């Protein structure tokens, strides 16, 4: 590719809208352009890099028995209604009505489509197991797109779906994907950690996320260095304290003016936060319900509420999936008989409020709680004697330093970006759409399903976030748009340009596709652009280099330069590329 013909250009200044390093560099290097919030055009350099990433993905999926197909971007809403996700998924789902007045959906994932295919194609146990995948466009109307390609609305995803006879088969497919995903990320030059995660809107029995650890990540992850426990904080467990057994004391109402926070209450009464009960109020929208549900969450004052766990706890009641959760307004709190800053579940009207208590509350005696009267609290409140909850569950967040649930050693927290996920779905979708097969005894059985996905654009951005320096990008050889950046410098002699042209043709003839900077630009501009774009190997043809006996060769990841005779360049570049691949493999296989 001649740079004089390349569509797109590099930028000297950092665009104002660029928030993180990968966003800045991908914009400046001419890889992407933004059309709207969370919607990007991938220019030729990015398209080539993503095609190389997708090739790695296809190779690894084929290696575990995957068969590629292509499923539609637009879905009839009927299949989403059958699984319930039409009602359970909120505004992130892009809905529209076609000209025949039928509800339609823009694909945000393809479980429903796969289940519909299975219903039509799978009848016998002899057709299972099966594994299908595609690389397809998705759209999720994310309310907070950010950080360039890290969080977008339209994106390309590798998603695959395993179909098995039973849970044992799903376990095998899950483990095959678990390993294949590590190979994909490693081959792309990205180090990731797999952590346990919440199944979220996907549902199912078990899930893992592949996390690129970085300070720009929105997810908080908990790790134990002693026993290798790891989890997203949304679902992370931790060993909670075991309160001492005490005699239940008599409730006592005490004045507590201007103490609407746990911190103020603890200071006024000279009690640790662990001896207090904290009330947090929400309004929960539930699928199939016209009116929101008032949720009273109760946990110890030394704990932090985990909203994901709270949503899951609400879901155990069977009233419907939570589609939205927001903080309750003061007037909504007062309407149920509670007082903001001074609330407790004692004497609240049953039926109007869903009380969810953290599982530490029933084991913590004689807690200070609100009196549902401004300026007053109650001493010695006790679960079971003074109040009960509709649900008792773990709704506390694991924080940095929290004891590991397995070995009780302190865990540490890190930020991360999710670049892939895998789910054991079971029969959630296949049962909803009537997907069954006849076993060897002629009995009807549910097809057992798994779902697995990697965002291609997000992976590209994370690679850029990981591989750069102050000058620009440094692409791993496996995903670089081209392995070679060939530069010809301005010269008085025609020999320089002829040598560069001949070298370009020779490289292309050997399959060493190159980005050839044949522009009439100054040397400094060309070198700056080469550093910014970040291809693995730079070749410079100049009068000075030819006078020294050849062409200047420099690896983007190194400072050293060397002169190689023109007749030996092709062989030398092949050796360099092989060494770069070997170094990449060694890095992830030590």
Task: State the CATH class of domain 482-588.
Answer: alpha beta
The dihedral region occupied by 508, where left means phi > 0, alpha psi between -120 and 50, and beta the remainder, is alpha
Tokens of 224: 């134990």
Q: What is the pLDDT of residue 377?
A: 95
Q: Indicate the SS3 state at residue 495.
A: helix
Q: What is the pLDDT of residue 315?
A: 85
Q: What is the pLDDT of residue 201?
A: 64
Contact 433, 116 (CB under 8 A): yes
Q: What is the pLDDT of residue 283?
A: 94
Q: Return the sign of the alpha-carbon dihedral for residues 416, 422, 428, 434.
A: positive
Q: What is the pLDDT of residue 492?
A: 81
Q: What is the pLDDT of residue 557?
A: 94
Same fold, 252-393 and 482-588: no
Helix (H) or strand (E) holding 498: helix 494-509
Instruction: Name the DSSP letter for residue 126.
Output: G
pLDDT single digits (tens) 405-445: 999 999 999 999 999 999 999 999 999 999 999 999 999 99
pLDDT single digits (tens) 295-315: 999 999 999 999 999 999 998
The dihedral region occupied by 341, where left means phi > 0, alpha psi between -120 and 50, and beta the remainder, is left
Cα–Cα dist 319/286, whole Å: 7
Cα–Cα dist 317/59, whole Å: 44
Residues of the chain with confidence (pLDDT) below 70? 201-204, 350-351, 590
- Which residues is 75 bridged to in the sheet? 105
Taking the whole predicted model, whether its pTM rises above 0.75 is answered as: yes
Work out whether strand 130-139 and strand 67-68 pair parallel, antiparallel, or are unpaired: parallel
Q: Indicate the SS3 state at residue 496.
A: helix
CATH superfamily of 252-393: YbaK/aminoacyl-tRNA synthetase-associated domain (3.90.960.10)
Q: Indicate the SS3 state at residue 139.
A: strand
Q: What is the pLDDT of residue 220?
A: 94
Cα–Cα dist 550/74, whole Å: 56
Tally Cβ neighbours within 10 Å of residue 258.
10
Contact 568, 510 (CB under 8 A): no
Three-state SS across 308-342?
HHHHHHHHCCCCCCEEEEEECCHHHHHHCCCCCCC
Distance set, CA 419 to CA 192, 218, 255 (Å): 8, 12, 52
Backbone angles phi, psi at 209, to 5 degrees: -115, 145
Q: What is the pLDDT of residue 494?
A: 86
Backbone angles phi, psi at 156, to 5 degrees: -105, 135
Cα–Cα dist 38/53, whole Å: 21
Backbone angles phi, psi at 458, to 5 degrees: -65, -40
Alpha helices in 415-455 (DSSP H): 428-432
Task: State the CATH class of domain 21-193+203-208+422-464.
Answer: alpha beta
Report whether the peptide linkage leading into residue 380 is cis, meaning its omega lies within 30 degrees of zero: no
The dihedral region occupied by 185, where left means phi > 0, alpha psi between -120 and 50, and beta the remainder, is alpha
Residues 6+ apart with CB under 8 A from 252: 378, 379, 380
Listed by start position, the domains of the chain span 21-193+203-208+422-464, 252-393, 482-588
């Amino acid at each position: 590719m001649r740079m004089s013909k390349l569509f797109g250009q590099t930028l000297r200044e950092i665009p104002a809208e660029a928030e993180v390093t990968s966003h800045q560099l991908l914009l400046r290097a001419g890889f992407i352009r933004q059309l709207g919030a969370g919607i990007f055009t991938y220019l030729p350099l990015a398209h080539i890099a993503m095609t190389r990433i997708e090739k790695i993905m296809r190779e690894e999926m084929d290696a575990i028995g995957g068969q590629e197909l292509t499923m539609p971007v637009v879905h009839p809403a009927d299949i989403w209604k059958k699984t319930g996700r039409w009602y359970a998924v909120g505004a992130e789902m892009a809905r529209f009505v076609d000209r025949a007045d039928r509800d339609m959906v823009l694909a945000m994932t393809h479980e429903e489509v796969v289940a519909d295919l299975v219903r039509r194609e799978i009848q016998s146990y002899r057709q299972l197991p099966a594994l299908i995948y595609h690389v397809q466009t998705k759209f999720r109307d994310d309310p907070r797109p950010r950080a360039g390609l890290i969080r977008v609305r339209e994106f390309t995803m590798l998603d695959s779906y395993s179909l098995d006879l039973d849970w044992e088969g799903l376990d095998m497919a899950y483990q095959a994907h678990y390993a294949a995903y590590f190979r994909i990320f490693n081959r792309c030059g990205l180090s990731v950690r797999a952590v346990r995660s919440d199944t979220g809107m996907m549902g199912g029995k078990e899930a893992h996320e592949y996390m690129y650890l970085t300070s720009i990540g929105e997810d908080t992850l908990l790790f134990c260095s002693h026993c290798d426990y790891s989890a997203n904080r949304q679902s992370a467990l931790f060993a909670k304290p075991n309160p001492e057994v005490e005699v239940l004391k008599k409730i006592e109402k005490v004045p507590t003016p201007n103490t609407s926070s746990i911190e103020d209450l603890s200071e006024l009464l000279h009690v640790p936060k662990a001896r207090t009960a904290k009330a947090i109020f929400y309004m929960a929208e539930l699928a199939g319900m016209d009116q929101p549900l008032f949720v009273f969450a109760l946990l110890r004052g030394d704990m932090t509420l985990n909203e994901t766990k709270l949503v899951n706890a609400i879901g155990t009641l069977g009233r419907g999936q939570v589609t939205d959760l927001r903080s309750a307004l003061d007037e909504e709190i007062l309407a149920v008989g509670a007082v903001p800053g001074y609330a407790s579940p004692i004497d609240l009207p049953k039926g109007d409020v869903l009380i969810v208590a953290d599982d530490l509350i029933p084991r913590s005696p004689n807690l200070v709680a609100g009196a549902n009267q401004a300026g007053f609290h109650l001493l010695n409140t006790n679960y079971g004697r003074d109040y009960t909850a509709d649900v008792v569950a773990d709704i506390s967040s694991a924080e940095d330093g929290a004891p590991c649930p397995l070995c009780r050693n302190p865990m540490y927290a890190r930020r991360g970006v999710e670049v892939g996920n895998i789910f054991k779905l079971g029969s959630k979708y296949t049962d909803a759409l009537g997907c069954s097969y006849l076993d060897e005894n002629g009995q009807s059985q549910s097809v057992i399903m798994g779902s697995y996905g990697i965002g291609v654009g997000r992976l590209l951005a994370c690679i850029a976030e990981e591989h750069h320096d102050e000058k620009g990008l440094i692409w791993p050889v496996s995903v670089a748009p081209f392995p070679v950046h060939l530069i010809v410098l301005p010269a008085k002699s025609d020999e320089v340009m002829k040598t560069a042209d001949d070298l370009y043709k020779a490289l292309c003839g050997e399959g060493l596709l190159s980005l050839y900077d044949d522009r009439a630009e100054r040397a400094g501009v060309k070198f700056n652009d080469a550093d910014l774009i970040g291809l693995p190997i730079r070749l410079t043809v100049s009068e000075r280099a030819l006078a020294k006996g050849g062409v200047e060769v420099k690896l983007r990841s190194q400072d050293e330069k060397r002169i190689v005779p023109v007749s030996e360049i092709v062989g030398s570049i092949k050796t360099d590329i092989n060494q770069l691949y070997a170094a990449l493999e060694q890095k992830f296989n030590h």
